[in-house]
């Protein structure tokens, strides 16, 4: 079920997080060399997770052509 997983930093002695959104964990770990994150069940985490920040909608129109060598023009024969 959505919301049952939170994301934690796996670096030793890092007390940042946990986060509700994986993109927040990814942002933290990208800014700190040697850090990585993983998902954990919410009931295994002792502290309340930080709420997920909102993300902008992404343009994913080309996902239907993923893997096609012609890309976005694949259906324009």
Residue 75: per-residue pLDDT: 56
Angle at 5 between CA 11 and CA 37, to 5 degrees: 20
Q: Which residues pair with 50 in a beta bridge?
A: 19
Bridge partners, residue 76, by sequence: none
pLDDT at residue 1 greater than cutoff 60: no
pLDDT > 70: what percent of the chain? 66
| Interatomic CA distance for residues 36 and 10, integer angstroms | 6
Residue 63 has pLDDT above 50, yes or no: yes
Please, which pLDDT band fits residue 40 given cuts at 50, 70 and 90? confident
> Is the CB of residue 47 less than 8 Å from the CB of residue 40?
no
pTM, rounded to two decimals: 0.62
Q: Is the pLDDT of residue 26 over 50?
A: yes
């Amino acid at each position: 079920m959505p919301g049952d997983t939170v994301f934690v930093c796996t670096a030793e002695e890092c007390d940042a997080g946990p986060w509700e959104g994986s993109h927040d964990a990814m942002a933290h770990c990208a800014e700190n060399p040697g850090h990585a994150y993983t998902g954990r069940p919410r009931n295994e985490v002792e502290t309340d997770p930080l709420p997920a920040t909102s993300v902008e909608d992404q343009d994913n129109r080309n996902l239907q052509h993923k893997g096609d060598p012609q890309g976005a023009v694949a259906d324009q024969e």
